Structure 1
Amino acid sequence: MKQNSAAVEDLLTTQREQVLAEWRNELASTAGGRSLSSDSRETDELINAILVGVRASGNTENFDDTPWNHVRDVLAGLSRSRAAQGATAAETSRFVLALKRPLFAGLQRRFGGQPEVLIEATWEISSLLDNMAQYTVSTYQRSREEVIARQQQELLELSTPVVKLWDGVLAVPMIGTLDSGRTQLVMETLLQRIVETGSALAIIDITGVPTVDTLVAQHLLKTVTAIRLMGADCIISGIRPQIAQTIVHLGIDLEGITTKASLADALSLAMKRAGFVVTRGKAAAALPLSATLGAAD
Structure 2
Amino acid sequence: MKPASFDYHRPDTIDDAVALLSELGDDAKIIAGGQSLVPMLAMRLAYFDHLIDISRLGELRGIERRGHELWIGAGTTEATVGADDQVRQAVPLLTRATPFVGHFQIRNRGTLGGSIAHADAAGEYPAAALALDAVMEVLSPRGRREIAAADFFAGLWETTMEPDEVLTGVRFPVWNGRSGFSVREFARRHGDFAIAGALVAVQLDDADRVSRCGIGLLGLGSTVRRAPAAEAAVVGMPVGELVAEEIGRAAMTGLDDVPTDLQGSASYRTQVGATMVARAWREGVHEAIDEAPAGAANA
TM norm structure 1:
0.22
CA radius of gyration, larger in? 1
Higher relative contact order (CA 8 A, sep 6+): 2
Structure with the larger strand share? 2
